[in-house]
Structure 1
Amino acid sequence: MSSAEPTPFSTHQIDLAALLETYGSPLYAYDGATIRRKAGELKQAFDGIDLKIKYACKANTNLAILRLMREIGVELDVVSPGELEMGMIAGYNASQITFTPSGVPFEEVRSAVDAGAIVNVDSIPLLEWFGQTYGNTKPCLIRIKPNVAAGGNAKIMTAHADSKFGISVLMLDEVLEVVKKYDIKIVGLHQHTGSDIKDAEPFLKVADILFEAAKRFPDLEIIDLGGGFKVSYLPGDHVTDMELLGKNISERFNTFCNEYGRKLQLWFEPGKFLVSESGFLLVKTTVVKEDPARNFVHVDSGLNHLIRPMMYGSYHHILNISNPGGPLKTYNVVGYICETDTFATDRELPEVRQGDVLAFLNAGAYGFTMSSNYNARLRPAEVLVDNGNARLVRRRETLEDLLKTQMDI
């Protein structure tokens, strides 16, 4: 992307620098039109299939985002009681929410079932407890680990043999014994391969494994293939070919349904795919430091607001909003946290000056939700731009917010 290329907001005539001026720095800003477009892409890719999209809301739990998802017919996948409560506050019925726990206390599962959510069982001990507690009075899904390694890097792979997630496909006999023992009502099988999967092949491979396992469960209604579609992080980046994926998965799904004897519903649980490209982290340059080894651009944010580059080595494209036509220079873009806190290394940008506004792209997923108050820093505000209007959807934190749970003030 050249410095002159438009951002996704430009079609709405939204000035990113003006947003920062209005709401302060740093600032998370989200484009509702992008979320609507991404959901439409997934629906179009599986046109003709009984498809249900379950937004993996751990990516971004702002209530305004959840309400937008509900408006466009996207349901929820949650991983904690807090996310479940947020979904219901946003207007979802609990029956529209899937709870996919990972080794949680069983009381969390009980609270989700009692609320009316459907649970995705990810271990034999939990399956035993579920059977002892509910017998066949409550439905559940089973999360299968297909033992397939795929994803952007090891930290975001979730279906390989060493992953903590799910019940190994090699343990199906044990699963079926427990199911039979308690007459558990299994309505679906689920798997999630990981994130940032570029090609259709891993999805097809795990789909075949799940379809084969499904033949051993006679009363299924749902096949859930998770999410993990690759999004674009940098110019020319390879992304999942959704049209090809939809065509290939749909063909195999229809074949499986014919063999199974009836039509099932196909679920996907995208998180990043729906919200990543919608988001920007807007920051101001505080110091430009020229050094014999590197030129450093310091900004008024850090890993406390966007930890993905330090945690995953993830790439976020950066725009110099204030000086897009400046001469290109190479910088390390760094944060203000008292740790090694690097957003980008040897990044070529239009000349950055003190006070310039920078925009980190693809910040809509796992940005604010993974933020912290490290160094006693405050979390930023969030703004949603939708239908041509910008509105504050989370105020900036204050020191009082950091202190209000402490008891000896």
Structure 2
Amino acid sequence: MQLSNQRYTIQDVDVLAIADEFGLPVYVYDADKIIEKIGLLRSSFSGVNLKIKYAAKALTNVSILKLMRQQGVEMDSVSVNEARMGMLAGFEPGRIMFTPSGVSFEEIREAVDMGLQLNVDSLSLLEWVGQTYGSRVAISIRINPHISEGGNIKISTGHADSKFGISILQRPDILAIVKKYQIPVAGLHIHTGSDFKNANAFLKGADVLFDLATDYPDLTFIDFGSGFKVAYKEGDHITDVAELGRQVSEAFQNFCQQYGRDLELWFEPGKFLVSESGHLLVKTNIVKENPTRTFAAVDSGLNHLIRPMMYDAYHDIKNISNPLGAEKIYTVVGYICETDTFATDRPLPEVRPGDVLSFENAGAYGFSMASNYNARFRPSEVLVYEGKPYLIRQRETFDDLLRGQEIIEFEEELVKK
């Protein structure tokens, strides 16, 4: 989103005009930004057979999935319902990686029946796959490398105490089960978390997987997950994707030479592809001046963007209806009956009742983690594609809140006299 001639635009579309047309609050996504990120990844990994698998949990709108498929991106899912959305968007089942965590065996069976690429992350699941399918279903194996790097502990998944993946210390147990049932192993997978600033975490993970690969002679891919850090504010340290690509590609090429043939190199970016594309537009309801703070209360809350409350995540905020106003200090809060603070003591151009604010980097884990808490509606979603805004999800209504409920009719309460 750019400030041009005192107005904010996305692909030359006036953002305030989008707010007027579709109402507030509303998520707005910039297709050009998504395409730009895809191109950056591709250009950064040269000389390797790169496959980009979009981690759909970041933003599952079917139109976004269709855009990914149009750009030649494949898909990573963590539930069969995500996979169904991907298939609705046109993805072939075999191009969807299914990486569950602690799901039921019934869901695993359903995923296999759908034809998804199964990624196994526990010894118990590996044993069940062997007992159920023997050598009939090729799998990949998710390894926990005991690497602790990256950002917030809540999104760190490769440390020794994480629930994700099979511990590298259980390497002999993995191989014993695979040999017992002759399970075909097509790939090895690792995902150590998020917000990595450099290539170190990926290279450490690569050392683990490259060594483990000697146990499995018939691999077709190595999957490094994701974890690229994006910028949340001006001057933020981000992952140097070009340098990362150079170092990882070189290491991967050397590995393939030693392995004896070229494999595919997979990444599963989610936040990296969609975070910067997204803007959550909200209206300022009231400006409340207290002795210690000035609050700007908006028509949104943790029900629409929970990351600041759940992860202490920073989201830049822009006053798009008064961008040249005198700077003042505000604590921006929501309308939920909880402490739902988006930002504390944030300098902003003067915020007035009715002003439209934009929470930046709202493309990832905004709508996908939204809820109906306090019986509030989830917003509409709009995609700006080739200079035109498209409504890709309608705003919820009261009927949506009631859908699925069965209302019991009770006798009228007897009034005691």
Pairwise TM-score range, normalised by the shorter structure: over 0.9
Distance 2:287 2:257 in 1: 63
1:73-128 CA distances to partner (integer Å, 9 max, x unpaired)?
A: 00000001110111111111111101000010011111111111110000000000
Q: 1:26 maps to which residue?
A: 25
Instruction: Name the amino acid aligned to 1:289.
Output: K
Is 1:302 the counterpart of 2:301? The answer is yes
Matches within 5 A, 1:213-292: 213-292=212-291
Q: 1:84 maps to which residue?
A: 83
Distance 1:355 1:113 in 2: 51
Distance 2:3 2:97 in 1: 43
1:264-288 CA distances to partner (integer Å, 9 max, x unpaired)?
A: 0000000000000000000000000
Distance 1:203 1:255 in 2: 15
Q: Is the 1:50–1:264 contact (alpha carbons within 8 Å) kept by the matching residues of 2?
A: yes
Distance 2:167 2:286 in 1: 51
Matches within 5 A, 1:92-131: 92-131=91-130
Instruction: Name the amino acid aligned to 2:26.
Output: L
1:353-373 CA distances to partner (integer Å, 9 max, x unpaired)?
A: 000000000000000000000
User: What percentage of residue pairs aligned between the two structures are identical?
Assistant: 60
SS at 1:238 equivalent = coil
Q: Is the 1:4–1:325 contact (alpha carbons within 8 Å) kept by the matching residues of 2?
A: no
Q: Is the 2:303–2:372 contact (alpha carbons within 8 Å) kept by the matching residues of 1?
A: yes
Q: Is the 1:120–1:142 contact (alpha carbons within 8 Å) kept by the matching residues of 2?
A: yes
Q: How many angstroms does 1:47 deviate by?
A: 1.9
Q: How many angstroms does 1:151 deviate by?
A: 1.8
SS at 1:127 equivalent = helix
Are the structure 2 counterparts of residues 38 and 117 from structure 1 closer, same or farther at C-alpha, using a change threshold of 3 Å?
A: same
Q: 2:316 maps to which residue?
A: 317
Q: How many angstroms does 1:209 deviate by?
A: 1.1
Instruction: Name the amino acid aligned to 1:243.
Output: A
Instruction: Name the amino acid aligned to 1:302.
Output: G
Are the structure 2 counterparts of residues 161 and 228 from structure 1 closer, same or farther at C-alpha, using a change threshold of 3 Å?
A: same
Instruction: Name the amino acid aligned to 1:43.
Output: R
Q: Is the 1:8–1:34 contact (alpha carbons within 8 Å) kept by the matching residues of 2?
A: no
Is 1:344 the counterpart of 2:343? The answer is yes
SS at 2:90 equivalent = coil
Instruction: Name the amino acid aligned to 2:23.
Output: G
Matches within 5 A, 1:150-229: 150-229=149-228
SS at 1:344 equivalent = strand
Instruction: Name the amino acid aligned to 2:117.
Output: I
Q: 2:404 maps to which residue?
A: 405
Distance 1:18 1:289 in 2: 27
Q: Is the 2:10–2:30 contact (alpha carbons within 8 Å) kept by the matching residues of 1?
A: no
Q: How many angstroms does 1:299 deviate by?
A: 0.2
Are the structure 2 counterparts of residues 58 and 11 from structure 1 closer, same or farther at C-alpha, using a change threshold of 3 Å?
A: closer
Q: Which 5+ residue runs of structure 2 have no aligned equivalent?
A: 409-417
Instruction: Name the amino acid aligned to 2:236.
Output: D
Are the structure 2 counterparts of residues 32 and 104 from structure 1 closer, same or farther at C-alpha, using a change threshold of 3 Å?
A: same
SS at 1:10 equivalent = strand
Distance 1:303 1:11 in 2: 25
Q: How many angstroms does 1:16 deviate by?
A: 1.0
Q: How many angstroms does 1:9 deviate by?
A: 7.3
Are the structure 2 counterparts of residues 356 and 9 from structure 1 closer, same or farther at C-alpha, using a change threshold of 3 Å?
A: closer
Distance 2:51 2:322 in 1: 44
Q: Is the 1:306–1:370 contact (alpha carbons within 8 Å) kept by the matching residues of 2?
A: yes
Distance 1:84 1:161 in 2: 29
Deviates more, 1:198-207 or 1:395-404: 198-207
Q: How many angstroms does 1:10 deviate by?
A: 3.3
Q: How many angstroms does 1:215 deviate by?
A: 1.4
Distance 2:352 2:198 in 1: 40
Tell me which stretches of 4 or more aligned residues in structure 1 moved more than 4 Å.
Answer: 3-9
Let me know the Cα RMSD of the aligned residues.
Answer: 1.5
Question: TM-score normalised to the size of structure 2?
Answer: 0.96
Instruction: Name the amino acid aligned to 2:94.
Output: S
Distance 2:343 2:265 in 1: 39
Q: How many angstroms does 1:338 deviate by?
A: 0.2
SS at 2:13 equivalent = coil
Distance 1:328 1:7 in 2: 16
Distance 1:118 1:384 in 2: 29
Q: 1:293 maps to which residue?
A: 292
Instruction: Name the amino acid aligned to 2:221.
Output: I
Indicate the structure (1 or 2) with the bigger Cα radius of gyration: 2
